[in-house]
Amino acid sequence: MKNKKIDVCKILFLLSLFITPLLCSFFVVIINNYEKYDSLFKTFIVLSICVFLLIFIITFIQLLKDKKIFCRRNVYARLAAFVLFGVYIFGNISTVHFIYYDENFKEWLINTSSNSINYQDLAGQIYSKYTLADYTVVEEAADEELIDFDVEYDMNLYANKYEKEILEHKEGEIYKIIKIKGKTSGTGSTYVGYMAVVYDPSHVKLAKSSGAGVDNNAYGETLSTIAYKNNALVAINAGGFYDPFWNSNGGIPHGDVFVNGKLDTSFRRGDFGGGMVGFNKNNKLILKYMSTEEAINAGIRDGVDWGPFLIVNGVNQYKNNQTYWECGRTAIGQREDGIVLLLVIDGMQSHSQGASYTDLANIFERYGAVNAASMDGGTSTAMVEKGQYINSPWNGYVRTYRWLPNAWVVVP
């Protein structure tokens, strides 16, 4: 009977020996990718870790007792057992720490994964979207010659249906709204959104909340309020903001913010890669990672520091870098003829699961953008037309309207 009990202990010990570190590693993955997993699953993983850790400790002690390690005569054996136990725990912690904090390993794994045919999303399953963005190498949209406001088209002959959607409009029309619908490239879920097509880029400006700043008294405003105060025909949310504990009032924008040719605020950069996304004084959309001084010298009239960049100099940055994280998205782009594209995709709702960065890049590529970048997404994603929300801003369970530091607006 005793031998049978010991045999069971050995089996449980070996199982817990291997399963416990795997569960702990997966728990770290969940922490880094919290938005991908629901609360019930997270709770299940935590409980499983507790159960297997308890089994490991109990069976370990039981096996030591069976070998009479706790006898006074077996001091060295007891010491060796606890040293091995310490090495095991230290080894697991060191491995997890190496995977998540060693810069060289992270860079190698992310780049190797993104260039692999069979394991493209491996890094995406391990690291957060913030980490991936930091290690995603993109070009800079420095070649302004791609934008030519004098491009002419034969209105009787379109290259494709997307070009026709863009170019067919009433004479003198400042903008038009296109409804966007499709399937995500990752899970095949449905996404639904809206694209504002702005025919003259000089009508696109960056507007800020009346209370936006970098001090504790700063505050944001809803997109509809910002749009109303700026007499906007259309508006979408723009850059991200400092959001400690996920309860910010949206008053402190990340990075450099330029409004009407002047540096408005400068706070620490966000964690989404990219860089300056802004229009210069020639109304061309510039995408470039640059310092405050460089942005001033580049003549940025309106811009925010955010990202990641989706299309740079006509090159889809996610063509060979598939991403699967789907949620509400906001993005801005410009075609070679100067037409500006403002895009929002609803997320985490029955009618629209959301889109990934790959999906955004593909949408902009279809509609002829030569430069495009992602703006703040998720709960912030919103589009207002003539004072009314036309998309469905969502906060997990309810329709909501976040306070924002700034917005891209289309003015008369």
Domain count of the fold of the chain:
2
130 inside domain: no
Residues 85 and 147 in one domain: no
How confident is residue 117, by pLDDT bands cut at 50, 70 and 90? Answer: very low
Residues 150 and 277 in one domain: yes
SS3 annotation, the chain = CHHHHHHHHHHHHHHHHHHHHHHHHHHHHHHHCHHHCCHHHHHHHHHHHHHHHHHHHHHHHHHHHHCCCCCHHHHHHHHHHHHHHHHHHHHHHHHHHHHHHCHHHHHHHHHHHHCCCCCCCHHHHHCCHHHHHHHCCCCCECCHHHCCCCCCCCCCCCCCHHHHHHHCCCCCCCEEEEEEEEECCCCCCEEEEEEEEECCHHHEEEEECCCCCCCCCCCCECHHHHHHHCCCCEEEECCCECCHHHCCCCCCECCEEEECCEEEEECCCCCCCCEEEEEECCCCEEEECCCHHHHHHCCEEEEEEECCEEEECCEECCCCCCCCCCECEEEEEEECCCCEEEEEECCCCCCCCCECHHHHHHHHHHCCEEEEEECCCHHHCCEEECCEECCCCECCCCECCCCECEEEEECC
The 10s digit of each residue's pLDDT in 194-233 is 999 999 999 999 999 999 999 989 999 999 999 999 999 9
Residues 83 and 177 in one domain: no
Q: Is the pLDDT of residue 302 over 80?
A: yes
Q: Which domain-ending residue is among 101, 121, 150?
A: 101
pTM: 0.70
Q: Is the pLDDT of residue 395 over 80?
A: yes
Residues 91 and 221 in one domain: no
Q: Which domain-ending residue is among 49, 72, 101?
A: 101
126 inside domain: no
Q: Which of 25-34, 55-64, 263-272, 320-329 has the lowest mean pLDDT?
A: 25-34
166 inside domain: yes
Domain that holds residue 7: 2-101
How confident is residue 254, by pLDDT bands cut at 50, 70 and 90? Answer: very high
Residues 309 and 255 in one domain: yes
Residues 84 and 156 in one domain: no
Residues 198 and 285 in one domain: yes
Residues 91 and 157 in one domain: no
Among residues of the chain, what percentage have pLDDT more than 90?
A: 53
| Mean local confidence (pLDDT), 33-52 | 72
Residues 275 and 375 in one domain: yes
Between 373 and 322, whose confidence is greater?
Answer: 373
129 inside domain: no
Residues 49 and 188 in one domain: no
Mean of pLDDT over the chain: 84
Q: Which domain-ending residue is among 70, 101, 132?
A: 101
